[in-house]
Amino acid sequence: MRTARRSESSNTGTARRSESSNTGTARRSESSSMRRRLRSFAIEFWLPVLIVVLWWVGSARADLVFYPPLAEILGRFQDLWLFDRFFTDVIPSLRNMLVGYALSCLVGVGLGVVVAQVRIARHALEPLVHFLRSIPPVALVPIAILVLGFGPEMKMTIIAFSAVFATLIATLDGVRAADPVLAEVTRVYRVSGRDRLFKVILPAAAPQILSGLQVSLQIAFVVMITSEMLASTEGIGYLTILAQQTFAITDMWAGMLLLGILGYLFNLLFTLAERRVLHWHIGMRSQAKTH
Amino acid sequence: MAITSIRRFPATGKTRVAGSNALVVGAIAVLICLAVWEVGARGPLAGGPFPTVGAIAGGLVGLVGEATFWSSLGETLMTALVGLGLAVLSGVLLGVVLGSVDFVYRSTRLIIEVLKPIPPIVVMPLVLLLLGPTTEMGVFLVFYGCLWPVLIQTVAGVRDADPVLLDTARSFGFGRLQRAVRIVLPGAAAFIVTGVRIAGAAAFVIAVVSELVGGAPGIGRDLFVAQNAGLYAQMYALVFVMGVVGLAFNTGLGAFEKWMLHWHPSVRREVVA
């Protein structure tokens, strides 16, 4: 949370700076801001570029079994994931993950909002939920295999089940922590149930719900990979661990590369969506930070 | 409407009653769930993948009596704690450097941004290839997974250091190291401890992953073995144990955070309220 706040405030800072330099009429300041931007671009990118270049050159020259040339890895990446295995493995993996995650979002937020309103339900559910959340999500995969078999239904179910608790708890806490005066005021003004839900309760709890949803997304991703590594004949995780076990080193690297890219992309997309949903809140937060 | 809602601001005595009520209701709910499970396991789902509550309890008692269970559990906890410790040490050291030297911070920012959201299970195939299904493999994965939160929080904390304090210290002739130890680190402590709590919650989970999927010794591997051997009661008992350990881990970390930061305004305010 704290880091997030920090990066946001620094982002708005740079945005403001570039704006003011754009409106600046003096030519000199424009060219110097241009130079400054180039400089900061160079500072941000020199090391990543250097690492990739070193990896490329080093792995091409050295003849290490476990570190095949990067060019070969990229070639395998293309052949495997973009052509051969795209429909048979990449799509099923993503489908399982997205269906499971969507289920966990719906159930987590829905159940959380309802239960948070009913005190007895909250008291009844909380100990159970906290215990189930404490079980490492991947430990539930063997049970899921036992109960549901090896099919895609098992994977979607276990992804949804493991991921739901983070969202559920965040929603419960978020709704409960919402300003009690807000609840009183909506009641006094007799705001209808639906308006209360969509215009008062959910927006007030949105920051916490979203951070829960983000944790759920990470769990869903890990459980997707685990369920494929432990019990599958298809999927990105399955192919990657199979490649490792059969010493198909280049394929293994290609699999790790794809999983890494997916992990990064999921997080990126979520952050962008979150920023869109919470744009009002982020503004308030950076104001609140000043005092 | 408004009058009834006044009741919703309870006096202190009332919350205590509500608190014990909550415990009772929670306990009843747990008992109901166990009862439903028992009925299901005896009736419609008998013979399936659901052993009875009694059988699971039996499995648990059996486990607790075995020395191998305790050595497995110790192995898992060691993996988690050693990996976490290494991650905290290197994360804080690296974070102080990255946070205090702007050039280094900006040069490495992208790399950290890209690596941070990649879970340890993604790099596991490579680590497994290099280290095999060993404790070292588990420790490395825990280290890898825990490093990012600690590092990122430390960098944020260091960069949040009060510039006036730093200037004052400099004008009093404090050296770089002295400033780091006396001003930057205490200032960043709240951030770092938060990072450690986040990392700690992940440590136990990653240790179990490395054992269950990667085959490192520990209760995760025992779970895999129990599943393959068809020892269902033992399997459920192991999952239960993991839940208890996970709960203890998280509670311990929360207490650790409070204890470390007892002087910090955010914690003190909590106590006052």
- Listed by number, the residues of chain A in 15-54 with a beta carbon closer than 8 Å to a beta carbon of chain B are 40, 43-48, 51
**Count of domains observed in chain A:** 2
* Position B210 pLDDT exceeds 90: yes
Cα–Cα distance between B128 and B141 in angstroms, integer?
10
pTM: 0.85
pLDDT at B71: 95
Residues B70, B23 share a domain: no
A86–chain B Cβ distance below 8 A for any pair = no
The answer to whether position A275 is within a domain reads: yes
pLDDT at A287: 56
A191–chain B Cβ distance below 8 A for any pair = no
The arithmetic mean of pLDDT across residues B10-28, rounded, is 66
A200–chain B Cβ distance below 8 A for any pair = no
Substitution target in A39, A123, A219 with the highest count of B β-carbons within 10 Å is A123
Residues A224, A89 share a domain: yes
Measured N-to-C along each axis, helices A236-245 and A202-230 cross at an angle, to the nearest 10 degrees, of: 40
Q: Give the nearest partner residue to B122 out of A128, A138, A256, using CB atoms.
A: A256
The CB-side HSE value for B212 (13 A sphere, CA atoms) comes to: 31
The answer to whether position B50 is within a domain reads: no
Report in angstroms the alpha-carbon separations of B10 from A123, B14, B16, B247: 17, 6, 10, 30
Residues A273, A213 share a domain: yes
pLDDT at A177: 84
Contact between B232 and A146 using a beta-carbon 8 Å cutoff: yes
- Listed by number, the residues of chain A in 118-137 with a beta carbon closer than 8 Å to a beta carbon of chain B are 120, 123-128, 130-132, 134-137
Residues B121, B11 share a domain: no
pLDDT at B162: 85
The answer to whether position B49 is within a domain reads: no
Question: Concatenated DSSP letters for B115-169?
Answer: HTTS-HHHHHHHHHHHH-SSHHHHHHHHHHHHHHHHHHHHHHHHHTS-HHHHHHH
The arithmetic mean of pLDDT across residues B215-222, rounded, is 94
- Listed by number, the residues of chain B in 4-43 with a beta carbon closer than 8 Å to a beta carbon of chain A are 5, 8-9, 21-22, 25-30, 33
pLDDT at A27: 59
Query: Are the beta carbons of B253 and B245 closer than 8 angstroms?
Result: no
Cα–Cα distance between B191 and B106 in angstroms, integer?
20
Q: Which domain holds residue B19?
A: 2-42
Residues B134, B32 share a domain: no
Residue B76 is part of a domain; what is its CATH number?
1.10.3720.10
pLDDT at B44: 77
Residues B36, B149 share a domain: no
* Class of residue B164 by CB neighbours under 10 A (exposed 0-12, middle 13-18, buried 19+): exposed
Query: One digit per residue, pLDDT tens: chain A, 291 residues?
Result: 344 444 444 444 444 444 444 444 555 667 788 888 888 888 888 999 999 999 999 888 887 888 899 988 999 998 888 888 888 889 999 999 999 999 999 999 999 999 988 888 888 998 899 999 999 999 999 999 988 888 899 999 999 999 999 999 999 999 988 777 887 888 888 888 788 888 888 888 999 999 999 999 999 999 999 999 988 788 899 999 999 989 999 999 999 999 999 999 999 999 999 988 888 776 556 555 444
pLDDT at B237: 94
Cα–Cα distance between B256 and B84 in angstroms, integer?
14
The answer to whether position A2 is within a domain reads: no
Substitution target in A6, A41, A138 with the highest count of B β-carbons within 10 Å is A138
Residues B63, B38 share a domain: no
Q: Which of these, B97, B206, B229, lies nearest to B144 by C-alpha position?
A: B206
* Class of residue A23 by CB neighbours under 10 A (exposed 0-12, middle 13-18, buried 19+): exposed
Residues B121, B168 share a domain: yes
- Listed by number, the residues of chain B in 189-218 with a beta carbon closer than 8 Å to a beta carbon of chain A are 191, 194, 204-205, 208-209, 212-213
pLDDT at A286: 59
Contact between A126 and B123 using a beta-carbon 8 Å cutoff: no
Contacts of A264 in chain B (CB under 8 A): 114, 117-118
AA identity, residue A286: S
Residues B16, B134 share a domain: no
Cα–Cα distance between A108 and A163 in angstroms, integer?
9
pLDDT at B10: 45
Q: Which residue of A has its CA nearest to B205?
A: A136
A226–chain B Cβ distance below 8 A for any pair = yes
The answer to whether position A4 is within a domain reads: no
Residues B127, B23 share a domain: no
The answer to whether position B51 is within a domain reads: no
**Count of domains observed in chain B:** 2
B149–chain A Cβ distance below 8 A for any pair = no
- Listed by number, the residues of chain B in 227-266 with a beta carbon closer than 8 Å to a beta carbon of chain A are 227, 232, 235-236, 238-239, 242-244, 246-247, 249-250
pLDDT at A88: 86
Q: Which residue of B has its CA nearest to A263?
A: B118
Residues B80, B36 share a domain: no
The answer to whether position B131 is within a domain reads: yes
* Position B225 pLDDT exceeds 90: yes
The arithmetic mean of pLDDT across residues B253-258, rounded, is 86
Contact between B22 and A255 using a beta-carbon 8 Å cutoff: no
The arithmetic mean of pLDDT across residues B249-256, rounded, is 88
Q: What is the tens place of the pLDDT at every residue in B186-207?
A: 889 889 998 999 999 899 999 9
Residues A211, A141 share a domain: yes
Q: What is the tens place of the pLDDT at every residue in B159-189?
A: 988 889 888 998 998 888 888 888 888 889 8
Q: Which domain holds residue A238?
A: 70-288
Per-residue pLDDT band for B267 (boundaries 50, 70, 90) equals low
AA identity, residue A200: V
Residues A129, A35 share a domain: no
Residues A156, A210 share a domain: yes
How do the residues of chain B divide into helix, strand and coil, expressed in percent and rounded to 5? Answer: 85, 0, 15
Q: Which of these, B52, B73, B59, B55, lies nearest to B245 by C-alpha position?
A: B73
Residues B35, B158 share a domain: no
Average pLDDT, chain B: 86
Cα–Cα distance between A145 and A139 in angstroms, integer?
11
pLDDT at A12: 41
